[in-house]
Structures are given as structure tokens and as C-alpha cells.
Structure 1
């Protein structure tokens, strides 16, 4: 088993990433039955999602600034984070009807995810350094598919208690942690640099090219997680107009979010001939135009709008691995890791107000909340336009 995993390390890592990140939106996947049972609304969904995001931000900053990710083996951190994440996710079943304990458990789940997603990137570098660029597209694709997985699990268990889907996500996380632990740390781990001062990561923002790319990433993040949070609500509206059963919400939400994995892989393939910036720019333009146009098309055929949601799901995350590649190329060589850590932390920080605004105003504005996402792509494209890449860059 171990020999087989080490012969094909990339598939093992991306499957583990898929299973581990199923914890991220596990509540969103069961939201319909969960909210009806406990009498919750879309604002409550936003708060639970925000708690996970806040935990992830706190966890990534802690790992970056303490050097913990370099002091201990990446596979061991991944395993511990997966086990603890599975435990906190399962614990939510017991605390679902209590606001504060529920929020704290979702925050703790976000902390654990900081030991899964970033460490997955490190493991890719450790096992497949020559193919890190294309592998990164697969890794972000698995994050996307992992985000969508709870919707699939809920759709596949109609009529069963919502708790089963949460426990299923926890079980997957345990399996993912076990896969990585058996695989090990890899032969090409970068040398430890010790604790990273915050100023070292912030220093990259003085580099015009890095600042431009980071701005593009920030605009992308303003839109991404808010869209993923809203997806079941968009789908429910169109199914209601069609008179279709609510059981289809989970299946369609999975398809719309999950198709982003194909977008990441396709973007990675296109980047080899077109360049990472070309892919990032066109993906961000596409999703931004849909943000702007969706509410104006709200009276059209629900089937047409479902197709539009699929295109949105495909494009909204296709630029993510490309922004990471562009930022790594533009960051100072001596502080690539800390620069990316700071950029990711700021980007995920921007998901908090975006999710809070859109989920909190859904009851009042409906599909018009998508206009609140438009400033993200607009700012991102403007920032990219300001930073001209040096000759020969990606």
C-alpha cells in the first residue's frame, strides 16, 4: 500500500485534499434540512461560514508566523489537522442548536483546515517539485471539489438525517489524513527557515508586480467564497420557479461548485500556452460579467439561469491557482513562502465581509446581492492592469 502511494504521490495528495476539505462547507451542504429543523435563516448560514473562514485565517497566520509547519513533518501536521477537524465537525452535531458552541466548533474546524490545504501545497512541492505548477491547479481543483462534496453527500442521502452527511465528511477527513500519513513527507522538502516575521511577508507588497497580482487575487477572493455560500440559494430560487423538488438543490449545488475543479485544471492547461495572467484575466472577466448581469436576467428561463450558474462556477475559481503562480514568480526569492502566506491571509480575510453582506441581505435583495460582488472582479482587473509583467514571466 505504502509503496503504491509513493509511486503515485500526486493522486494520493489530491484525493486526501478532496476528503479533508469536505469539512469546509459541510454545514452548507445540509443547510436546507438543517435550517428547517432548527428554524434558522440565511444570516445564520453566513455566520457559520464566517466562523470557518475566520478560523482558517487565524490558523494560516499562526503556521506562517511561528514556523510550526517547518518544525514538524508536513504529513504529521496534515494527519493531526484531519483528525481534529473530523472531531470538531462531528462535534457540531451535538452543538447545532446552541449558537455560541456551534460557532466555536466551526471556528475550530477552520483552524484545522489551515493544516490541510496549505500543507497539501507543501507536500506537492516535496513529492513533485518538477510539476508543481500543474499540480497546483489539481490541488485547488480538489479544494473546489471538496467544497462541493457535502452537497453531493446530501443529495445522495435523501430523507436521511442531516447529521449523517456531517459525520460522512468527518469520516472522509480521517481517511484523507491516513493517506497522507502513509505517504510521508517526501524527498524534496524545502529547508526550514524558522519563524517568519510578519514584516518579511509584508515586504513583498513593496514590489509593484507582486502588489498588482495580489490585488487581482484580493478581488477574486471577494467574489469566490460569497458565491459558493450563495449557490444553494440561487439554485433553490430557480427550482422553485420550475416547481421542481427541493431534493435537487444539493445535486445542482454540487455540480455548480464542483465544475470549478474542471475550470482549475483547464486553466492550468491553458496557462502553458497562454500564460497564467491571460487565464486569470479572462476567468475574472467572465465571472465579473456574470456577477453584473445575473440579476438583470433573473426573469428569464430558470434553465438558462442554471446554465449561467454553471459557467459562473467554472470561471469563478479557475484563476485561483494562476494568481498563486503569478505571485510566487513576483515575490522576492528569499520570502516566497511568507509573501504567499500574507497574501492568502488577506484574501481570506476579504471573504468575511463579502459573505456577511451577501448572506445577510439575501432576504431583502434576493439575486440582486450579486451586484455586491462586482467590485471584486473590477478591482482585481484594475490591479492586474497596473502591473506589467517582466519579460519572460508567466
Structure 2
């Protein structure tokens, strides 16, 4: 039996299931950062100077609100998850396209971006629930490829900036919305897997009851420590590199490489989890990224030949633990509440990202540039301490 000590998935799992979920997730979540790619055009057209951070925060806050509502209503557990994914993707696509139609004000843009994030709550965590329904022993591997593809999508905006692509802003929004529709249609065809039960009405205490399970609680707290570091690192590594003296174009290209490297961590971690178990792989990558946080002041002064490999290692590990924590969360949640428990964990996790982003924004000019990323070490330290029981590859009691 493999290290995760769960029964292997049935031989009858259609081969198209995982590729469909992965591709559908990538397409549907393309609307997440679509507005970021057209910020300069929005600024020029509607005078949105200074709104870059607010546009990003609006999506994050919408996602947090959506995941909380979806979890408390038990949407992903009471309804067919494929249909939830499809409906959410269609509404998110419409809200994304609405940026081109709303009146020329920052408030209107923020409102439709919030709505986009809200319905992405029916896409990202619900996609993980669908995968959890088909894969048990191989869930860490499945989610490794799933999250790895999403990381590449996240990095693509920086690649566009690095290459200096000049697309019509309406085309960017329209293309991403069309992609979300296609992704919704693709995943909407995926049937429910054999490893999930349809739940009844979910009470607030019922979802929170999942946190009374020691291993679920350990996995979720480890995930929260990971989230403290992840998005703040992605957001502020360009600031850190510019302060280090990298030109703007090189900074964009290197930022793309650092973020995209996380796809290797996700896919490679999924392969390792088949042998070692999701717990050791997740905590091992969290430990390496935490050491990178602590070493960042020294790396800031290092020659470029050492700094770039250091950042690539950090990029691999800062994202590579994410699918394994998600696999652990799904594995140890109550069977009838997997969708809602995952959604609530996502909601709290993204709230943690808002706090770490706000902290770095507050200390950006108070700390020497070399020390800007050092506060992120608190997340890995927190996750390693509270998730320490997950070092055991075998599952043990939930």
C-alpha cells in the first residue's frame, strides 16, 4: 500500500477526468487576474491612478466572501459540484466582461471585480472537491498537477509584461471571459466521483466541527501558514527585485520565472507524495521556503549568479506545498462535508493573505529593502509547528 495509506482509486476512473478538471480550472480562473493585465488602459481611460492594489484586493475580498457563503450554505455538498462549477464560471465570466461596460469610476470597477472573485469561490475549491471525489490514494498527485497548472496561469501576466505585449484591453477581457465559459462547460460534464457523499443542509457548527478532527486541524493550520507567505511573496518579490537594482523588464521576466517555478514544485511534490505521503512533502517544502524567508536579507546582497537560483528554489517550494495541504484537508474532512470544509479553509486562508499583504505594504518603507520579505517567515514557522504531526506519512486516525 502506498504511503498515504488510502485505497487506490478504482480502475474504472476515465482517463479524461483529471485533464478535464485541470484544463477547466485553468480556463475558468483566467478571469482572476484579467483586469490586472489592462490596468494601464483603465487608468488612461477612466483615471484610475493608484487603483492597482485596490483592483487586486477587490477580487481577493470577493473570493473570501464567496467561499464563506458557499461553505455556510453547503452549496458544494448539497448540489452537483459540476453544475456549481459551471454556474459560477458563467457568472464570473460575465462579471469580468462587465469591466468594459461599467461607468468610468473606480468604485464600479471594484464592484464587478468583487463579484468576479465571489463566484470564483464556486470554481477553485469546487474543482478540488471534484478531484477529491475521483482520487484518494492519488489525490496528492492529482492536485499537484491541478494547482501547478493554476500557478502557470497566475505567472502568465508577468510574462506578458516582460514581453511588452500590447493587446486591446477589451480583447483581453473578452478572451478571458470566453475561456471561463469554456472551462465551466468542460468541468460541468465531469460526473460525481465515488469517494464523496452528497450532504444535506449544513449548519455553521457542522462545518466547524471538522476542525475538531486533529489531523484535519493540523493540515488546515499548516495551510494557513503557507498562505501567509504565498501571495505576499508573489506580490512583493518584484518590489524586492527593483530595490535590489534589477531593471523593470528583467524584474518582470524574473518574477514570471519565480512564480512559474512553483508549477514544478506542485507537480514534483505530487509525484513524491506517491512515495512519501502528502504530509512529509508539504511540510518539507514549507520548511525550505521558510528557510528562504530567513535567508532573504543575505540573499539580497548576494551576486546575481547566486540570487537567481535562490529565488527559483524559493519559487518552487513556496507554491509546491499547496496541493499537498489541500489533499490532506480533503482527506481528513468529514466525508459529507468535504466541499464545504475545503471552501471554508480557502476562505480563511485567503483572509490570511490579505493580512500578510497589508503587513508588507505597511512596512515597505519602514524596513530596509533587504528585510522586506523577512516577516513572511512567521507563516512557515506557524505551519510547521501546528502541522508537525503530519510528518508521519501513514495517515493514522483522523
TM range, smaller chain: 0.7 to 0.9
Residue 120 (structure 1) shift: 1.3
Q: Does 1:51 align with 2:54?
A: no
Compared CA separation, residues 127 and 379, structure 1 to 2 (3 A): closer
Partner of 1:13: 21
CA distance in 2, matches of 1:102, 1:74: 29
CA distance in 2, matches of 1:304, 1:31: 33
CA RMSD after TM alignment: 3.1
Q: TM-score, normalised by structure 2?
A: 0.83
Paired residue for 1:185, among 157, 182, 191? 191
CA contact (8 A) 1:150 1:165 kept: no
Partner of 1:308: 310
Partner of 2:265: 263
The residue matched to 1:294 in structure 2 has which SS? helix
CA contact (8 A) 2:139 2:327 kept: no
Structure 1 residues 292-301 or 360-369, which shifts more? 360-369
Q: TM-score, normalised by structure 1?
A: 0.84
Paired residue for 1:24, among 27, 32, 38? 32
In terms of fraction of residues, the more helix-rich structure is: 1
Unaligned runs of 5+ in 2: 1-13
CA contact (8 A) 1:144 1:258 kept: yes
Q: Does 1:375 align with 2:373?
A: no
CA contact (8 A) 1:50 1:355 kept: no
CA distance in 2, matches of 1:163, 1:314: 33
Compared CA separation, residues 331 and 118, structure 1 to 2 (3 A): closer
CA contact (8 A) 2:223 2:322 kept: yes
Partner of 1:384: 387
Compared CA separation, residues 388 and 295, structure 1 to 2 (3 A): closer
Partner of 1:3: none
- The C-alpha deviation readout for 1:185-230, integer Å capped at 9, x for no partner, is 3564834212221212222323333332222111111111111222
Compared CA separation, residues 334 and 174, structure 1 to 2 (3 A): closer
Between the two proteins, the alignment pairs up a number of residues equal to 382
Structure 1 residues 226-235 or 8-17, which shifts more? 226-235
Paired residue for 1:324, among 306, 323, 326? 326
Partner of 1:277: 279
CA contact (8 A) 1:268 1:322 kept: yes
Residue 352 (structure 1) shift: 1.2
Residue 379 (structure 1) shift: 0.9
Compared CA separation, residues 127 and 389, structure 1 to 2 (3 A): closer
CA contact (8 A) 2:63 2:121 kept: yes
Unaligned runs of 5+ in 1: 1-5
- The C-alpha deviation readout for 1:357-389, integer Å capped at 9, x for no partner, is 223443554453212211111111111236775
Q: Does 1:149 align with 2:156?
A: yes
CA distance in 1, matches of 2:58, 2:140: 31
CA distance in 1, matches of 2:98, 2:202: 33
